[in-house]
Amino acid sequence: MCSLALFPPPLAPGRATLCESNNELLSGTASGRPQKQESCPPSLCFPRESLKLHSRTESSSKAAFLDHSETLWMRSAAAWRDGGCTGLLDEITNSNTEVPKWLSVSSGFSLALLRWFSSFHGSMFPHLTLSSEDMLAEFSQVLNWSDCVVRAFAWHPHTDKFALALLDDSIKIYNPKSGTAPTLKHRLQRSVAALQWKPLCASALAAACQNCLLVWHVDPCSLSTRPSSGCAQVLSHPGHSPVTSIAWSPSGTLLLSASPMDTAMMVWDVASESCVPLQRVGGGGVTFLSWSPDGSHVLASTPSALFRVWETRMWTCERWPCVKGRCQSGCWSPDGSRLLFAVQGEAVIYAMTFSDKPAGVPTCASTGPQAAAAVADLSETTFNTPEGDITVGGEIQSLSWDPTGERLAVLLKGDPQAADRPTIIAVFKTRTNPIFELLPCGFVQGEPDAEPRLMQFHPNFQHGALLTVCWSNGRITHVPFYFLSAGVPHFGLGGSPSLPRPQEGAADFANQSLFTELLS
């Protein structure tokens, strides 16, 4: 395991990453970036000024209406709906002239006891004291989610269309082959934290919102640009909000949802709009979900220093403690046999390998890993460039592994207050068979003053891998990595090249291995 010092240095200011060709990342001036490269979707831009943001929050809308008299029961019902048990007790306590004295006193005592318990519980799990917006920003896979123009992005697993959620709470669907770009809006569609298309389905899109889940059913053949809110299913469960992460099963039969406020992970049957809570003691909630491509396991992170890996046949789980902080992000290899994850406060990528399965043995019968191995150290590394020293590395925001298993993208937070510590995407070349290896590829950078916020690989790019990056200035670009996949047989002189091996001589950055199981 080596450091980022094996990577080529970052690009000079004013230059942006264009693509990878012949095992080398190519760059050009930001102004000279082509609007559409061959076989790539077009780039998009959503200026912040073009978005109509909400001028009034829902909680403050009462001030727009004249005050009128309501009965105690009406006020109590509204307090229960808006604030739960605490709101009800507070309403009864403040209505001491309308209720018996013993009821007002007992309600006040119960309210004080409940607040004391809540403060004690909050001291154990500090995230419970955050507002819904702050909680979504804290646990989102998007860097600086609360201030990001594009808050969520999702490629369709089988076609070239994608969906994105914007700062104004609208969801837009784009298909390069169609001139229609539907815009989805719903009164419950607030603070969208995640999007995911249903596998094996052309029309179903799940959205994780502040108070519920929405499952949109958008006919791909429809010419409507504003589908009715009746096209959305509303899935909600008491205490299960805000929703920070969702994950469809690879077969599309089940949908998982997670909330930091709820210790249970919800397993939804969308057709019947019913759910089964999977609850375990410890963790203080669930923040991030990732379903393995083979459907055998689910990664479930918590706000505390532990995460769980569930097997999906009997829905049992293994509990994995972390040393420093919570599991920030994770991704699976294409065959589901290996899990890579990052821990908050650490600059290390860890890997867990699930044992090989004998022929005829069900996927879920495999035994779990005994320990997690550190496969990459991304500690801060200083590069000497003609423009000055640039420091790259540090804490990891998110991970993304392309479906071929040959490119791994890592979003590094950097330091937004320091110009010489930029937020940047580090890309590795990877190989999973016959052994697991990591090799340096290079850094992905964009326009000046634009920082990466969110990234995702295209699930079906035919020429290698395609990384979609959402930037802080509202632009969405696509960086292609052109290569022949080693997992697919090719014939003739243009056969699939294997990953390069370390060679003696000149310092060839692309050929220096960061990690190999042969050396671990």
* Region of poorest pLDDT, from 87-91, 122-126, 348-352, 389-393: 122-126
- The Cα 270–Cα 273 span in angstroms is 5
Sign of torsion, CA 485 490 493 499? positive
The token duo for 431 is 């190989």
pLDDT score at 30: 61
Of all residues in the chain, the percent with pLDDT exceeding 70 is 82
pLDDT score at 359: 42
DSSP for 470-511, please give it. Answer: EETTSEEEEEEEE---TTS---STTPPPPPPPP-SSS--GGG
* Structure confidence by residue, pLDDT tens digits, 186-210: 999 999 999 999 999 999 999 999 9
| For residues 80-91, average pLDDT | 72
Task: Give the three-state DSSP class for 25.
Answer: strand
* Structure confidence by residue, pLDDT tens digits, 28-62: 986 655 544 557 888 999 998 888 766 544 444 45
Answer whether 0.85 is exceeded by the pTM.
no
- pLDDT at position 410 over 50: yes
Amino acid letter, residue 3: S
pLDDT score at 246: 98
Q: Where are the beta strands (DSSP E) in 209-258?
A: 213-217, 232-235, 245-248, 255-258
Q: 3-class secondary structure for 417-447?
A: CCCCCCCEEEEEEEECCCCCEEEEEEEECCC
E strand or H helix at 132, and its extent?
Answer: helix 132-139
The token duo for 494 is 């243009």
Radius of gyration of the chain (CA): 25
- Exposure on the CB side of residue 200, measured as CA atoms within 13 A: 7
Helices 101-124/72-94 angle, 10° precision: 70
- pLDDT at position 506 over 60: no
Specify the DSSP class assigned to residue 160.
S
- pLDDT at position 517 over 70: no
Name beta bridge partners: 45. 475
Burial per residue of 74-93, b for 16 or more beta-carbon CB atoms within 10 angstroms, e otherwise: ebbeebeeeeeeebbbbbbb
Gap between the terminal Cα atoms of the chain: 8
CA-closest candidate to residue 430, choices 375, 468, 506: 375
- pLDDT at position 98 over 50: yes
- The Cα 307–Cα 319 span in angstroms is 6
Specify the DSSP class assigned to residue 9.
P
The token duo for 355 is 């044992």
CA-closest candidate to residue 257, choices 273, 277, 234: 277
pLDDT score at 79: 73
pLDDT score at 349: 95
* Structure confidence by residue, pLDDT tens digits, 139-174: 999 999 999 999 999 999 999 999 999 999 999 999
- The Cα 459–Cα 169 span in angstroms is 25
- The Cα 194–Cα 153 span in angstroms is 7
| For residues 483-490, average pLDDT | 66
Name beta bridge partners: 456. 468
- The Cα 448–Cα 84 span in angstroms is 48
pLDDT score at 258: 97
Task: Give the three-state DSSP class for 104.
Answer: helix
- The Cα 408–Cα 485 span in angstroms is 14
Sign of torsion, CA 67 73 76 82? negative
pLDDT score at 80: 67
pLDDT score at 394: 94
The token duo for 32 is 């000279």
Specify the DSSP class assigned to residue 5.
G
Q: What number of other Cβ atoms are within 10 A of residue 377's Cβ?
A: 17
Residue with more model confidence, 84 or 77: 77
- The Cα 196–Cα 157 span in angstroms is 9
- The Cα 225–Cα 333 span in angstroms is 37
Specify the DSSP class assigned to residue 10.
P
- The Cα 262–Cα 274 span in angstroms is 17
- The Cα 132–Cα 23 span in angstroms is 44
CA-closest candidate to residue 90, choices 109, 117, 74: 109
* Structure confidence by residue, pLDDT tens digits, 265-305: 999 999 999 999 998 887 789 999 999 999 999 999 999 99
Residue with more model confidence, 324 or 169: 169
When pLDDT is cut at 50, 70 and 90, the band that residue 426 belongs to is very high
DSSP for 320-336, please give it. Answer: EE-SSS-EEEEEE-TTS
* Region of poorest pLDDT, from 51-60, 66-75, 321-330: 51-60
Amino acid letter, residue 305: A
